[in-house]
Amino acid sequence: MARARLDIQPIEEVQSLKSRTYDALKVAIGTMKIYDAGAELRLDERALSLQFGVSRTPLREALAQLEQEGLVRIAPRRGIFIVRKTKAEVIEMITVWAALESMAARLVTQVASDDEIASLHKLVDTFDSADLDAHMGEYSDANIRFHAAIIALSGCRLISDITHGLFTHVRAIRQRTIFEKDRARRSIIDHKEIVEALEARNGERAERLVREHTLKLRDHVEQFVQLA
Amino acid sequence: MARARLDIQPIEEVQSLKSRTYDALKVAIGTMKIYDAGAELRLDERALSLQFGVSRTPLREALAQLEQEGLVRIAPRRGIFIVRKTKAEVIEMITVWAALESMAARLVTQVASDDEIASLHKLVDTFDSADLDAHMGEYSDANIRFHAAIIALSGCRLISDITHGLFTHVRAIRQRTIFEKDRARRSIIDHKEIVEALEARNGERAERLVREHTLKLRDHVEQFVQLA
DNA sequence: CGGTGGTTTCTGGCATACCATATAACGAAA
DNA sequence: TTTCGTTATATGGTATGCCAGAAACCACCG
């Protein structure tokens, strides 16, 4: 008798209450405009456990994880506070980003295939200087995807993880970062140069271009962005 | 009446059971020669809570933190396993280290004082090539201190934190990394060149030297270190 | 009216009991 | 003896209650 061949999909793994609570909290905090509030924002374990419909135990574990990531600060018998990043901390995050993404660019020239590098073209070519005026919003997304793609193509999982963690923090800042037309225009030029260096397998140059590109953003934030 | 002026010292802050348990576990895991064991090492919540004399709650929070750092893996209803880093993961960690420390070197040339940079001399001059034969063990420590000093002088707290986290993982590997005399000798030369570049405030060169120095270590591990 | 000391309440830390399920142990049938 | 279904046990996940300490409140006294 022929053996039945069911195309079985693995059972969806039900996530623990802890991780689901963690995700929900992260989204809630991430989308909150914490920099518009005057006073320091406080959370309450018991109130949250009621809102999420879980007991305090998984909620506490989720909060502890968020604390380790630096999104909240837990003060015993005081409360749980959403942390607002200082400008200096944001500067440091962008600096680390520059270090990691430039290393990623170097790795791309060593490990990525020609096709993979060519795929970056699409992300760059989509926006030409002429289109900028009308599509500033979309450009911002494409910009992020471009940098994420370089990191992904590096094949270094650790760099991906760390930068992903940083991005969570910077998201709140992004809402306040004004992307002027001039910066975007210059940014596109930078991106094209970066792709060229990657295609030429010029690791040194790609690394330098990426670093300088990101440090420009750092200096821009340093000069023009005001937090809190 | 004159007001009494007691020279009060702040009361020492009692650490939570969670953080103390965390530290104890980290030390216990860090000093364990996990790569010599054959089978995968498993921990047990209840047994550990008895050994540490705390309830499962703070112990679980400590374990959750260790899991996030990647030192253990918690499998529901299976057990808690000490994670053994693969060679590829170690390579990635060294790569990230190279990226961060080279950026730190660049920052040092921008923000550190002459005195601070001069202090690096002491760490380098302590060991001359001639002394190497007799003091290989000490050199290993001095080597670590040198790199930690560069990172500290960069003033970038985030780089310090990330590299400190990486070091925890690499410690277990260090026991297996043979520091041959030749590598150490070459390493001292590298260090001297790095200090010279820092003193000359040559950010580009310092960055490159540090990166190449650490990538040498990566390639050495890639070639000669065998894990698990 | 202001300050001082006690008291209440609120909040996170911790302990513990129970739950769900993966795994092991066991036993009966083939 | 092997195999397969059943049961027992082990183990992490979750809920809940109590505790200690900080902040807020209040009454009392100067």
The reported pLDDT for the residue numbered A1 is 47
| The total number of structural domains that make up chain A | 2
**Overall average pLDDT of the B133-160 stretch:** 85
Alpha carbon distance B59, B65 (integer Å): 10
Alpha carbon distance B138, B126 (integer Å): 10
Alpha carbon distance B208, B192 (integer Å): 14
Residue A11, domain member (yes or no) = no
Residue B2, domain member (yes or no) = no
Query: Nearest by CB to A162, which of B76, B89, B162?
Result: B162
| A positions 101-160 inside 8 Å of B (CB) | 102-103, 107, 156-159
Structural tokens at position B18: 């969670």
Using DSSP's 3-state secondary structure scheme, residue B82 falls into strand
Structural tokens at position B207: 């960055």
Same domain assignment for residues A151 and A61: no
Residue A74, domain member (yes or no) = yes
**Overall average pLDDT of the B103-112 stretch:** 98
- The values of phi and psi at residue A215, to 5°, are -70, -25
Kindly report the CATH number assigned to the domain that includes residue B56.
1.10.10.10
Closest CA to A68 of B94, B67, B183: B67
Same domain assignment for residues B58 and B91: no
Residue B160, domain member (yes or no) = yes
Same domain assignment for residues A122 and A74: no
Using DSSP's 3-state secondary structure scheme, residue A38 falls into coil
Using DSSP's 3-state secondary structure scheme, residue B113 falls into coil
Residue A205, domain member (yes or no) = yes
Alpha carbon distance B209, B199 (integer Å): 13
* CA count, 13 A, side-chain hemisphere, A144: 14
Residues A75/A81, Cβ–Cβ less than 8 Å: yes
Residue B201 clears pLDDT 70, i.e. is over it: yes
Residues B102/B208, Cβ–Cβ less than 8 Å: yes
Residues B133/B83, Cβ–Cβ less than 8 Å: no
Same domain assignment for residues A93 and A205: yes
Same domain assignment for residues A34 and A102: no
pLDDT confidence bin for B2, thresholds 50/70/90: very low
Instruction: Determine whether the interchain pair B98/A103 forms a contact, defined as Cβ–Cβ distance below 8 Å.
Output: yes
The reported pLDDT for the residue numbered B165 is 92
For A76-134, write each residue's pLDDT tens digit. Answer: 888 899 998 889 999 999 999 999 999 999 999 999 999 999 999 888 877 665 565 55
Alpha carbon distance B214, B94 (integer Å): 7
Per CB-CB distance under 8 Å, the chain B contacts of A107 are 95
Same domain assignment for residues B72 and B164: no
Q: Does at least one atom of strand C sit less than 7 Å from the CB of B174?
A: no
Task: Please give the mean pLDDT across all residues of chain B.
Answer: 86
Q: Which residue is nearest nucleotide C10, judged by alpha carbon to C1' distance?
A: A77
- Residue B15 is given by DSSP the state P
Query: Nearest by CB to B162, which of A60, A96, A103?
Result: A96
Residue B122, domain member (yes or no) = yes
Structural tokens at position A19: 């991780």
- Residue A44 is given by DSSP the state -
Where is the domain boundary, B62, B82, B102?
B82
Q: Which residue is nearest nucleotide C21, judged by alpha carbon to C1' distance?
A: B77
For B18-68, write each residue's pLDDT tens digit. Answer: 999 999 999 998 887 666 655 678 899 999 999 999 999 999 999 999 999
The reported pLDDT for the residue numbered A35 is 62
Same domain assignment for residues A204 and A102: yes
Alpha carbon distance B161, B158 (integer Å): 5
Instruction: Determine whether the interchain pair B99/A95 forms a contact, defined as Cβ–Cβ distance below 8 Å.
Output: no
Residues B198/B120, Cβ–Cβ less than 8 Å: yes
Residues A23/A58, Cβ–Cβ less than 8 Å: no
Residue B176 clears pLDDT 70, i.e. is over it: no
**Which residues, including other chains, have CB under 8 Å from residue B142's CB and lie 6 or more apart?**
B123, B126, B127
Where is the domain boundary, A82, A103, A133?
A82
Same domain assignment for residues B78 and B106: no
Same domain assignment for residues A100 and A73: no
Report the 10 Å Cβ neighbour count for B19.
13
Alpha carbon distance B64, B72 (integer Å): 9
One digit per residue, pLDDT tens: chain A, 228 residues? 444 455 555 556 678 899 999 999 998 988 876 665 555 778 999 999 999 999 999 999 999 999 999 999 999 888 899 998 889 999 999 999 999 999 999 999 999 999 999 999 888 877 665 565 556 666 677 888 999 999 999 999 999 999 999 988 887 676 566 566 677 788 889 999 999 999 999 999 999 999 999 999 999 888 887 775
| B positions 53-92 inside 8 Å of A (CB) | 57, 60-61, 64-65, 68, 76, 89, 92
**Chain A interface test: which of B95, B157, B170, B215 (most A C-beta within 10 Å):** B95
A72-75 β-sheet, strand order:
A42-43, A79-82, A72-75
The reported pLDDT for the residue numbered A125 is 77
Q: In a 10 Å sphere around its CB, with 0-12 CB exposed, 13-18 middle and 19+ buried, how is residue A84 labelled? A: middle
| A positions 161-190 inside 8 Å of B (CB) | 162
Residue B110, domain member (yes or no) = yes
Residue A7, domain member (yes or no) = no
Pairing assessment for the beta strands B42-43 and B79-82 based on DSSP bridges: antiparallel
Same domain assignment for residues B103 and B182: yes
Same domain assignment for residues B95 and B202: yes
Residues B72/B21, Cβ–Cβ less than 8 Å: no
Range of the domain at A73: 17-82
Using a 7 Å cut-off to protein CB atoms, list the covered nucleotides of chain C. Answer: 10-17, 20-23
Instruction: Determine whether the interchain pair A158/B89 forms a contact, defined as Cβ–Cβ distance below 8 Å.
Output: yes
Per CB-CB distance under 8 Å, the chain B contacts of A159 are 92, 95-96, 99
Where is the domain boundary, B82, B109, B128?
B82
Unique residue bearing structure tokens 């895991």: B29
Q: Does at least one atom of strand C sit less than 7 Å from the CB of A66?
A: no
Kindly report the CATH number assigned to the domain that includes residue B155.
1.20.120.530
pTM: 0.88
* Maximum distance among all Cα pairs of chain B, rounded to whole angstroms: 76
Structural tokens at position A180: 């002027």
Instruction: Determine whether the interchain pair A156/B92 forms a contact, defined as Cβ–Cβ distance below 8 Å.
Output: yes
What length does chain A have?
228
**Which residues, including other chains, have CB under 8 Å from residue B187's CB and lie 6 or more apart?**
B143, B213
Calculate how close chain A gets to B201, using CA atoms only, in Å: 18
Same domain assignment for residues A104 and A198: yes
pLDDT confidence bin for B191, thresholds 50/70/90: very high
Pick from A11-15, A213-217, B146-150, B156-160: least confident: A11-15
Footprint of strand D on the protein (CB under 7 A): A 16-18, 54-58, 61, 76-78; B 43-46, 56-57, 60, 74-80
